[in-house]
Amino acid sequence: MTDFIHCFEPATSAGSPPLLLLHGTGGDENDLLGLGQMVSPGSALLSPRGRVLEHGMPRFFRRLAEGVFDEDDVRRRALELGDFIAEARKQYGIAAPIAVGFSNGANIAAALLLLKPDALAGAILLRAMVPLSDPPKAALGAKPVLLLSGQADPIVPASNSARLAALLSAADASVVHKVLPTGHQLSQADVTLARDWIGNVAAEVA
């Protein structure tokens, strides 16, 4: 399937939405499996490995410097990821997933929401940045998005995450944005908030 190395864990609970797990720089397809199991026990987990290498570390798209993205590559890679999701849905018989992305994975998930909205049912964006300086006009139809930022994040300025929340809200996503007293790394608060949020989303869909 479009050459993405990936893992798939089938659902063990019929009422849990499938998750698309998108790792950060240097991660792989195993990185977020534990997080996925914690935030939505029983969900099917689809976890691809990024196909771009930066000094040997997998990523989902190229960057020119920290916080400076190769936006042509962002667009191309987001569409490739969208094709992978469509093929995986057919192969594994799953609904459109909710993305759970960390850092680089959160950024590609945000790009996917803007470029190919139908690929995802929603997203949990952990330490995400605005992925495109000139995004297309997207219509997200009240898709649920949870954006969790770190107050002391040295990589993502507070103004950037606030801009991303505004951008997604303007595209008609139903955005919850919380700023946590932490840095770029994930905390127990991320897990708890994500789990509660997914529970509410699943209850609304049921």
> Which residues are marked as active site?
103, 153, 184
Are 6 and 89 in contact by the 8 Å Cβ rule? The answer is no
Nearest-5° Cα angle at 99, 128 to 149: 25
Rounded CA-CA distance 172/2 in Å is 30
Helix or strand holding residue 47 (H, E):
strand 45-48
Q: List the structure tokens of 7.
A: 């893992």
Task: Classify residue 11 by its DSSP letter.
Answer: -
Q: List the structure tokens of 115.
A: 């470029």
Rounded CA-CA distance 106/124 in Å is 8
3-state secondary structure of 189: helix
Rounded CA-CA distance 100/189 in Å is 15
Residue with tokens 């139809």: 141
CA torsion sign for 52, 57, 60, 61 is negative
